[in-house]
Structure 1
Amino acid sequence: MAALDAPLASMAPPSFRRMTASNGAAYYEAGQGEPLVLIHGVGMRLDAWAPQIAVLSESHRVIAVDMPGHGESRPLPTGSDLTAFVAWLATVLDALSLKRVNLAGHSMGALISGGAVATFPERIRRVALLNGVHRRDAAAKAAVLARAASIPTTGIDIAGPVSRWFSEDEASLVARELTRKWLSMMDVEAYATAYGAFAAGDETYADRWRDATCPALFLTGADDPNSTPAMAEAMAAKARNGYARIIHGHRHMVNLTAPEEVNRLLLEWLELPEVPA
């Protein structure tokens, strides 16, 4: 637990976030060098990248962004779909004058990252999808759509995600408690919009990986029941320069529960030669 506490505690508090003037996106920046943009998942906030920011900012200019309606970022209109979140990312890059970036996303952030590669590939040096979803089977699709539909009336389910995302082990206790805290801080309407886009977005760009040329890392936990190893391997097989890495003994929040291994894999990915779009 102590090993996880230290990098999490190194994250600046929300009052240290900066805001883009054009679209009200909140972000935290650290380090110098080639830019690396980090996008978290539904219900989280940029603080969830603390273990990665602490290490990757030693060699890169790291920009972690609060997704719309999360943390301190302005929400998108109610009902916005995945394409709107991808378009939002493009406006963030414009606001920060970032012409070409390395891009890593977790969960919903992974869907946005995949959409970015499909929509503006010339701006993406390398892409990493952590715990990304890809073409859910019928049962998983029905379950996630049902969860999305229930949010406006039942509110934000905290216990469900935590039970799916983590094992009940002592090592993940800090990450579990932080996840509960971040979910409890969410606005219900913003959460419903993001979760709806996440639930319906697993096929939006699914056929576009065959066009991707940039180095593409697909990483997930071996025990993740929703962002499965089979999904990561399927995307990697489609991308021309894609490869999968599976972290055994972990589930959905691998960047928090296996930070050293995730950081090592991301550093290796950042060293891969660029491939022109």
Structure 2
Amino acid sequence: MRDDPGAVAAMGVLSLEHQGCRLAYGVEGTGTPVVLIQGVAVQGEAWRPQLDGLTAHHRCLWFDNRGLGRSQPLGCALTVAQMAEDVRALMDTQGWDSAHVIGHSLGGLIAQHLALTERARVRSLSLLCTFARGRQVTVPSARMMWLGLRSRVGPRAWRRRAFLRMVMPPEALLQEDPDALAGRLAHLFGHDLADSPPVAMRQMAAMGAYDSTPRLQELAGLPTLVVSATEDPIAPPRLGRVLGEGIPGARYVEFPGASHGVTIQHAGRINTLLLEHLARADAPR
């Protein structure tokens, strides 16, 4: 049964009461529906670089995952399946029988689960800087352990710079004022980079418990784009290649010299790639 949307606009943000949480979301643009799903500790409006490129051609829905930002309170146990159910409910508020689904990092796992459980509602998948088995990311490499520690311990400026090293490649950071960049990303992400939202550890736990590997073959025939970045320490390209190879017919694209924040660093190129993928998926067969 469809939930009562209870949607009230506040500065362009709507809300939906769903299973104990008031989900905050926004809808922009015209055209074929698109749902954009963010990763750990990042608000939905961090898709702004993509919204600026997609909304001329698509009706785009973004949202804060439950327990993060304006989507409060957490309301129930946090799992990838629950977050995919939230996406289904948000699609229902728009009357969308189906939509293109774009996910980044944890959002990629949510997108995969939605496609595996609600195949008819997913027109295409775009899986950015993500993976199939969450445990491969939540058991970090030595580099990620060091950066993770540095992002949580010490002066706030040091913590911000350690976080930047997790999402931007070294060459890009040499060309930026780190404090100015940290400020811009804080505005996009919805929090100071020196701080981790309280729900982040629960999101990591949900991610670590999820594994779509045994079911990837079920996604055969679904137009799927998988994107990795060569310098990504969070979702290394080897995991993206495994994901792309596991989905029959998926297209795999690797961005050289980019990192986990490729959607920001190379927004124009990412948007062109997404628009091409969505157009192919929508083309008559």
Q: Do both share a fold (TM > 0.5)?
A: yes
Instruction: Give the drift of 1:137.
Output: 7.8
Contact preservation (8 Å) 2:41, 2:196:
no
- Distance in 1 (alpha carbons) for counterparts of 2:208 and 2:177: 26
State which drifts further: 163-172 or 66-75: 163-172
User: Partner residue of 1:245?
Assistant: 253
User: Partner residue of 2:278?
Assistant: 270
- Distance in 1 (alpha carbons) for counterparts of 2:176 and 2:268: 13
User: Partner residue of 1:214?
Assistant: 222
User: Partner residue of 1:17?
Assistant: 13
- Distance in 1 (alpha carbons) for counterparts of 2:76 and 2:185: 24
Contact preservation (8 Å) 1:158, 1:183:
no
Q: Provide closer, same or farther for how the CA distance between residues 175 and 121 of structure 1 changes in structure 2, counting only shifts above 3 A.
A: farther
**In the alignment, does 2:178 pair up with 1:169?**
no
Aligned length: 255
Identity of aligned residues (%): 21
Q: Residue 142 of structure 1: which of 139, 142, 157 is its match?
A: 139
Letter in 1 for 2:13: R
**Which secondary structure does the structure 2 equivalent of 1:240 belong to?**
coil
Instruction: Give the drift of 1:158.
Output: 5.5
Contact preservation (8 Å) 2:138, 2:207:
no
- RMSD between superposed Cα atoms in Å: 3.1
- Distance in 2 (alpha carbons) for counterparts of 1:77 and 1:258: 36
Contact preservation (8 Å) 2:80, 2:110:
yes
Matches within 5 A, 1:96-135: 96-135=94-133
Write out per-residue CA displacement over residues 19-43 of structure 1, whole angstroms, 9 at most, x where no aligned residue: 1244522112111111001011111
User: Partner residue of 1:56?
Assistant: 54
Contact preservation (8 Å) 1:79, 1:196:
no
**Which secondary structure does the structure 1 equivalent of 2:280 belong to?**
coil
- Distance in 1 (alpha carbons) for counterparts of 2:76 and 2:168: 29
Q: Residue 257 of structure 1: which of 265, 270, 281 is its match?
A: 265
Q: TM-score, normalised by structure 2?
A: 0.78
- Distance in 1 (alpha carbons) for counterparts of 2:45 and 2:181: 11
Write out per-residue CA displacement over residues 33-92 of structure 1, whole angstroms, 9 at most, x where no aligned residue: 110010111111122111111110001101111111222112434652222212222222
User: Partner residue of 2:7?
Assistant: none
Contact preservation (8 Å) 1:102, 1:125:
yes
User: Partner residue of 1:9?
Assistant: none
Letter in 2 for 1:225: P
Query: Relative contact order (alpha carbons < 8 A, sep ≥ 6): 1 or 2 greater?
Result: 1
Segments of structure 2 that go 5 or more residues without pairing to the other structure are 1-9
Structure with larger Rg? 2
Segments of structure 1 that go 5 or more residues without pairing to the other structure are 1-13
